[in-house]
Amino acid sequence: MRRPVGLLVPALAACGVVVALDQGTKALATSFVSRGERVEILPFLHIENVRNKGVAFGIGGDISAVFIGATIVLLLGFLVFLAFRGGDGWLVWLPAALLIGGALGNLADRARDGAVTDFIDLPLWPTFNLADVAIIFGVLLLLIDVERSEGRRSRS
């Protein structure tokens, strides 16, 4: 088992990749599709240039600087928790990197534009972006790790 500090570099790199991909795809989407427009890519996939001022899927209305500060504090607390918890390698640090990278990508939008840029539009689902995808996969992988850890504890 690798020590958590030894996994910090790949985790930070993964986090950086998530932020770069998120910001790059948002810039690409907004350069081809004007704000408020919607372009069909496939019958089930559209690119739509919208701004989300709420928390998740537009819920919550305008977000204040207090929310941004609280999010940063929570992310730092999450990192401290993971560092002290130890971890079983990539199944802890990769999901954390996805979650934190996605949160930082959306926070960058909020700090810069006052809202998150969303552009992926699927039927029956609110418009979203790659940061949202990274956050969801990060949470799912962390839940898998929790279940795996619980299974090991119950067997011992």
Length in residues, the chain: 156
What does the buried/exposed string (b/e) look like for 5-28 if buried means 16 or more CB atoms within 10 Å of the residue's CB?
eebeeebeebbeebbebbbebbee
CB 119 within 8 A of CB 40: no
121 is catalytic: no
Given the residues 22, 109, 121, 132, the one annotated as active site: 132
Given the residues 109, 118, 121, 145, the one annotated as active site: 118
DSSP-H helix ranges across the chain:
8-32, 65-85, 90-113, 130-155
Cα–Cα distance between 51 and 55 in angstroms, integer? 12
- In this structure, what DSSP letter does residue 46 have? E
Cα–Cα distance between 129 and 100 in angstroms, integer? 15
109 is catalytic: no
Cite the active site residues.
118, 132
